[in-house]
């Protein structure tokens, strides 16, 4: 790839002050989708929306291939958090909604997050969930089982309010109602 062909957007790794690694999950997603490293994130976002991250529904390029069920829900969610992607906070927000489901395998999720070096991102989401829904799974499990030894600059990650629905009115009238976004199943 020539210099002029490289993405103009910084990667998530660059935003976090981190480096990328050889990712088996990225390679698997690229093989299953047929997408290159620049487009695989869009494909994973499309898959997440089709699997219930409906808050991020939009129009996707018709040339993106269909979802591939060989990737587990946990792999799609972690795939959206990979440091290799051009920086796009919507990927992280969609991953949070995608993984916020009763069927998410928390043990597999934490194991995959450690393997793919996504611990700071998952912990950021888990800490945001603690503000709104402290007992929500898999986030309570993630907070208790992922190591915080790897530090990254998380100020580039979405604010906790971007993982929730907030209203200025409730059924009882004026007031604030905050609800953690969960996957539609």
What is residue 143's predicted lDDT score, i.e. its pLDDT?
95
Give, in degrees to the nearest 5, the angle at Cα 114 between 127 and 146: 40
- Predicted confidence band of residue 171 (pLDDT cuts 50, 70, 90): low
CA distance 37 to 85: 7
List the chain domain ranges: 8-180
Query: Is the previous residue joined to 35 through a cis bond, with omega within 30 degrees of 0?
Result: no
Q: What is the pLDDT of residues 15-74, one digit of tens each?
A: 888 777 789 999 999 999 999 988 999 999 999 999 998 887 877 888 888 998 999 999
State the DSSP H helix or E strand holding residue 87, giving kind and residue range, or none if neither.
Answer: none
- Predicted confidence band of residue 162 (pLDDT cuts 50, 70, 90): confident
pTM: 0.85
CB 121 within 8 A of CB 85: no
What is residue 63's predicted lDDT score, i.e. its pLDDT?
86
CA distance 15 to 13: 5
């Amino acid at each position: 790839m020539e210099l002029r062909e490289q993405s103009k957007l910084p990667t998530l790794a660059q935003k976090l002050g981190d480096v990328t690694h050889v990712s088996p999950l990225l390679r698997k997603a690229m093989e299953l989708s047929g997408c290159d490293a620049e487009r695989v994130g869009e494909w994973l976002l499309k898959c997440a929306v089709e699997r219930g991250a409906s808050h991020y529904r939009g129009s996707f390029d018709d040339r993106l291939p269909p979802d591939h069920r060989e990737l587990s829900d946990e792999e799609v969610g972690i795939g959206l958090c990979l440091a290799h992607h051009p920086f796009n906070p919507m990927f992280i927000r969609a991953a949070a909604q995608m993984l916020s489901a009763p069927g998410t395998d928390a043990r597999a999720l934490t194991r995959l997050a450690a393997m793919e070096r996504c611990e700071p991102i998952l912990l950021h989401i888990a800490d945001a969930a603690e503000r709104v829904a402290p007992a929500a799974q898999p986030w309570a499990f993630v907070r208790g089982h992922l190591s915080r030894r790897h530090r990254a600059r998380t100020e580039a990650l979405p604010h906790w309010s971007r993982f929730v629905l907030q209203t200025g009115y409730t059924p009882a009238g004026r007031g604030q109602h905050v609800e953690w976004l969960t996957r539609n199943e």
